C-alpha cells in the first residue's frame, strides 16, 4: 500500500529512545518482516537466548485505539508509580479530545490521531511499544510480540479492535475501510474512478454515500431501507431526500490533526496484514479527505435494495462469461440498457442485476480481531466471535480483561442497553475495564458503571445530528410496543418507542434538543399514558414540562 499525505507538511512521528530493543523505527521495516537470509554465524540452539530480556509491567494493554488508549490512561492515573505498557501495531494512537458530557449518559468527543510519544509525554508512566502481538501465553502471564520482545504482566487488557469483514478476500478491486491506511488508499483510488459500488448498510456506508462527489455510486444493501442498523424505514425515507439534494459548500471546521507514517516502507508489510492492524477510524474520519471522483457533478446514487453479492468478475472473466451488465440507472428512463463500457470489475447481485465499476467498497461490518490471542488459550467466545467478558470486563481467563470491538458483553444487560461496536462504547468499556483492573489489584469491589444502564449514541449522518437512545429500534420488545412520530421534512425526525405507556427508546434526527429529557424519561420509567400524542406536540415545550 502506498504512502499518502494531505497537502501540506505532515509532522514525522518520532519515537522515544526508551522504546524496547527490536521495535521498528520510521523508514525501516520491522525486523519481524525482514526477508530471511542465510548468515555465517550459527543459529542459537535455544531461541529464548536470542530474545531480549523480558519487560515487566503490572498492567499491559494491547491496542492503540479508543478502548486501549482510554484504558491505559485510566490505569496511569490510578497507579502513577507503576509502568503501564501499551502495545500497538500502528505508529499512531487514537486520543480522545474535546470531550463533552451532553447528559448523564450521552457524550460527544473528537478522536485525534497522535504519535505514541504524545501519550508518553502526558503520562510518563505509560510506555508505548510499537509492535504486533505474536502470541499470548496466558498461563505464564506474558505476551510475545512480533519484534521479538517478551512482555510480562500481572493484569492484561486486550483492546485489539476488529477487522473489516470483506465480501471477498484477496481481490485487488475490493477495498475495506477500517483504519487510516485503508481510508487513504480509498481516497487515492477514488480520484481515478467514474463509478464505484458500495456493499453494506452500516455507518461507514452511510457516510461514504453522502460524502462522495463526482462519481456514480451503485449502493447495494440487503435490507429494504438504508441505515437499517440505526433507523427504521421512516427515518430512512427522511434521510434519503438529502442524498439527491445538492450538498452545501459550507464545510464544518476540521478539528483533527492527521498523521501519516511518512518515510515508513509500508510495502514491507503484506497488504492483508496492513489492512488488519490499524485501529478503527474516528467519528468523522472522512473529514479532511478529498472524496471526489473524476466527474463534474455532486451526487449520483442508485440504491439496489434487498440484495447481496452473488459473484464478482474481473474484466476478462466477465467478457468470457458472455453476460451483460447494466448502465447506471436513469430514473426518468424506464428502459434498461446494456452497458457498452468495459470496467475493471463487475458485480452480479442476487437480484440478477450486474453492474461494472472501477472498484468495490466492502462496508459489511467487522470481525473481532481475536486471532493473535486464541492459540493455546481457552477463551470463551461469543456468537459474533468476540472474547466473552463478564460485568467486570474480565474474560474467561484469569487476569485477562477485554474492552471495545474485540469483546462480547456476556452479562445480563439493562433493559435499555445493547452492545454495538461504536466509538462511544469503546471509550466507556476501556474506562470501565481500567477501573475493574484497578479494583481487582487493590482488593476492592466496584459496581457496574452507569454508562451501561442506557444505550446512548450521538453521531452525524447526511449532515444531520443523530441521537439514538435505549431500544431505539424496539430491539427485543416484541409486537406489543407502540411508535410515536414527529416529522418535519428537511428539518427533524423524532421517533419514540413506547411499551405499556413507558418510553423505551428514541431516535432524534436534527437539532431537537430533546435528548436529555428523553434520556430521563427512559431511565425513570414514568408512565406517560395520560399524555398521549401531546408528548410530541411541537407546540408544547416538553423540556419544561418534565423538567
196: domain CATH number?
A: 3.50.50.60
CA angle 206, 209, 215 (to 5 degrees): 170
CA distances 177 to 74, 299, 300, 366, 477, Å, are 29, 21, 21, 10, 33
Q: Do 468 and 513 belong to one domain?
A: yes
Closest residue by Cα to residue 329 from 318, 337, 320: 337
Report yes or no on 414 lying in a domain: yes
Q: Do 299 and 206 belong to one domain?
A: yes
> What is the C-alpha to C-alpha distance for residues 538 and 547, in angstroms, rounded to an integer?
17
Q: Are the beta carbons of 152 and 59 closer than 8 angstroms?
A: no
> What is the C-alpha to C-alpha distance for residues 88 and 132, in angstroms, rounded to an integer?
6
Report yes or no on 13 lying in a domain: no
Helix (H) or strand (E) holding 187: helix 180-190
End-to-end CA distance of the chain: 55
> What is the C-alpha to C-alpha distance for residues 431 and 438, in angstroms, rounded to an integer?
11
User: Of the residues 311, 335, 365, which one is the last residue of a structural domain?
Assistant: 365
Q: Do 540 and 405 belong to one domain?
A: no
Q: Do 132 and 179 belong to one domain?
A: no
Report yes or no on 4 lying in a domain: no
Strands 345-349 and 309-314: antiparallel
Report yes or no on 19 lying in a domain: no
Residue-wise DSSP of 405-464: GGEEE-S---TB------HHHHHHHHHHHHHHHHHHHHT---PPPGGGTB-EEEEEETTE
**The three three-digit cell numbers of residue 6, written as one number:** 494531505
Q: Do 375 and 395 belong to one domain?
A: yes
Q: Do 70 and 123 belong to one domain?
A: yes
**The three three-digit cell numbers of residue 272, written as one number:** 492483508
Report yes or no on 49 lying in a domain: no
Report yes or no on 289 lying in a domain: yes
Closest residue by Cα to residue 464 from 282, 297, 240: 240
Q: Do 204 and 336 belong to one domain?
A: yes
Look at the chain and report how many structural domains it folds into: 3
Q: Quote helix, strand, coil % in the chain, to nearest 5.
A: 25, 25, 50
Q: What is the CA radius of gyration of the chain?
A: 25
CA distances 102 to 239, 384, 516, Å, are 24, 31, 8
Q: Do 351 and 497 belong to one domain?
A: no
pLDDT at position 108:
84
User: Of the residues 310, 345, 365, which one is the last residue of a structural domain?
Assistant: 365
Report yes or no on 408 lying in a domain: yes
pLDDT at position 249:
45
pLDDT at position 293:
53
User: Of the residues 365, 384, 405, which one is the last residue of a structural domain?
Assistant: 365
Report yes or no on 18 lying in a domain: no
Residue 211: count of CB within 10 angstroms of its CB: 18
Q: Do 383 and 469 belong to one domain?
A: no
Contacts 24+ apart (CB under 8 A), 325-331: 325/354, 325/355, 325/356, 326/353, 326/354, 326/355, 328/195, 328/216, 328/218, 328/300, 328/302, 328/355, 329/302
> What is the C-alpha to C-alpha distance for residues 128 and 507, in angstroms, rounded to an integer?
40
Per-residue pLDDT tens listing for the chain (547 residues):
333 333 333 233 333 333 333 333 333 333 333 333 333 434 444 444 444 555 556 899 999 999 999 999 999 999 999 999 999 988 888 888 888 888 888 888 888 888 999 999 999 999 999 999 999 999 999 999 998 889 999 999 999 998 888 888 888 899 887 666 667 778 788 888 899 999 998 888 888 888 888 899 999 999 888 888 787 788 888 888 777 655 544 443 333 333 333 333 343 333 334 444 444 444 444 454 455 555 555 568 899 999 999 999 999 999 999 999 999 987 655 566 888 899 999 999 999 999 999 999 988 888 999 999 999 999 999 999 999 999 999 999 999 999 999 999 999 999 999 999 888 899 999 999 999 999 999 899 888 888 899 999 988 888 889 999 999 988 888 888 898 898 888 889 999 999 999 999 999 999 998 999 999 999 999 998 888 777 887 767 666 556 5
Q: Are the beta carbons of 225 and 198 closer than 8 angstroms?
A: no
Closest residue by Cα to residue 192 from 359, 340, 342, 346: 359
Q: Do 235 and 140 belong to one domain?
A: no
> What is the C-alpha to C-alpha distance for residues 277 and 265, in angstroms, rounded to an integer?
15
**The three three-digit cell numbers of residue 412, written as one number:** 445480563
Q: Are the beta carbons of 354 and 338 closer than 8 angstroms?
A: no
| Residue-number span of the structural domain to which 169 is assigned | 165-246+277-365
Q: Do 426 and 283 belong to one domain?
A: no
Q: What is the CATH number of the domain that holds 506?
A: 3.30.390.30
Q: Do 169 and 151 belong to one domain?
A: no
Amino acid at each position: 500500500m502506498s504512502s499518502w499525505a494531505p497537502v501540506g507538511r505532515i509532522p514525522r512521528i518520532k519515537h522515544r529512545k526508551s522504546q524496547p530493543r527490536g521495535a521498528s523505527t520510521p523508514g525501516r521495516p520491522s525486523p519481524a518482516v525482514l526477508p530471511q537470509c542465510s548468515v555465517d554465524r550459527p543459529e542459537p540452539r535455544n531461541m529464548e537466548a536470542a530474545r531480549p530480556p523480558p519487560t515487566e509491567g503490572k498492567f499491559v494493554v494491547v491496542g492503540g485505539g479508543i478502548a486501549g488508549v482510554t484504558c491505559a490512561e485510566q490505569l496511569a492515573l490510578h497507579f502513577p508509580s507503576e509502568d503501564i505498557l501499551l502495545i500497538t501495531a500502528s505508529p499512531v494512537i487514537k486520543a480522545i479530545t474535546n470531550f463533552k458530557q451532553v447528559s448523564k449518559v450521552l457524550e460527544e468527543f473528537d478522536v485525534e490521531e497522535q504519535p505514541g510519544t504524545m501519550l508518553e509525554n502526558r503520562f510518563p508512566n505509560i510506555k508505548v511499544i510499537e509492535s504486533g502481538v505474536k502470541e499470548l501465553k496466558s498461563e505464564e502471564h506474558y505476551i510475545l510480540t512480533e519484534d521479538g520482545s517478551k512482555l510480562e504482566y500481572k493484569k492484561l487488557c486486550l483492546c485489539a479492535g476488529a477487522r473489516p469483514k470483506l465480501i471477498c478476500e484477496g481481490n485487488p478491486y475490493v477495498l475495506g475501510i477500517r483504519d487510516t491506511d485503508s481510508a487513504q488508499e480509498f481516497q487515492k483510488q477514488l480520484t481515478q474512478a467514474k463509478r464505484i459500488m458500495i456493499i453494506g448498510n452500516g455507518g461507514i456506508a452511510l457516510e461514504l454515500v453522502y460524502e462522495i462527489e463526482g462519481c456514480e455510486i451503485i449502493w447495494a444493501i440487503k435490507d429494504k431501507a438504508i441505515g437499517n442498523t440505526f433507523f427504521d424505514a421512516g427515518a430512512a425515507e427522511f434521510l434519503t431526500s438529502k442524498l439527491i439534494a445538492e450538498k452545501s459548500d459550507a464545510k464544518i471546521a476540521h478539528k483533527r490533526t492527521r498523521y501519516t507514517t511518512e518515510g515508513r516502507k509500508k510495502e514491507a508489510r503484506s497488504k492483508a496484514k496492513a489492512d488488519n492492524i490499524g485501529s478503527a477510524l474516528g467519528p468523522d474520519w472522512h473529514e479532511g479527505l478529498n472524496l471526489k471522483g473524476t466527474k463534474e457533478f455532486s451526487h449520483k446514487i442508485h440504491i439496489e435494495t434487498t440484495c447481496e453479492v452473488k459473484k464478482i468478475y474481473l474484466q476478462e472473466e466477465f467478457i468470457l462469461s458472455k453476460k451483460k451488465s447494466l448502465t447506471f440507472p436513469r430514473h426518468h428512463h424506464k428502459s434498461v440498457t446494456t452497458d457498452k463500457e468495459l470496467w475493471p470489475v463487475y458485480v452480479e447481485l442476487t437480484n440478477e442485476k450486474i453492474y461494472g465499476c472501477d472498484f468495490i467498497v466492502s462496508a459489511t461490518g467487522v470481525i473481532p480481531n481475536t486471532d493473535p490471542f486464541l492459540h493455546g488459550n481457552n477463551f470463551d467466545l461469543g456468537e459474533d466471535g468476540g472474547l466473552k467478558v463478564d460485568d467486570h470486563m474480565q474474560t474467561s481467563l484469569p487476569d485477562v480483561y477485554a474492552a471495545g470491538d474485540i469483546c462480547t458483553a456476556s452479562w445480563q444487560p439493562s433493559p435499555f442497553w445493547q452492545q454495538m461496536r461504536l466509538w462511544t462504547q469503546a471509550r466507556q468499556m476501556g474506562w470501565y475495564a481500567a477501573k475493574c483492573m484497578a479494583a481487582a489489584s487493590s482488593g476492592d469491589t466496584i459496581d457496574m458503571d452507569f454508562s451501561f444502564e442506557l444505550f446512548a449514541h450521538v453521531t452525524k449522518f447526511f449532515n444531520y445530528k443523530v441521537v439514538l437512545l435505549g431500544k431505539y429500534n424496539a430491539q427485543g420488545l416484541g409486537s406489543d410496543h407502540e411508535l410515536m412520530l414527529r416529522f418535519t421534512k428537511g428539518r427533524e425526525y423524532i421517533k419514540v418507542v413506547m411499551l405499556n405507556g413507558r418510553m423505551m427508546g428514541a431516535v432524534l434526527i436534527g437539532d431537537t434538543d430533546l435528548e436529555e429529557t428523553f434520556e430521563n424519561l427512559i431511565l425513570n420509567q414514568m408512565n406517560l399514558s395520560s399524555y398521549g400524542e401531546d408528548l410530541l406536540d411541537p407546540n408544547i415545550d416538553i423540556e419544561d414540562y418534565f423538567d
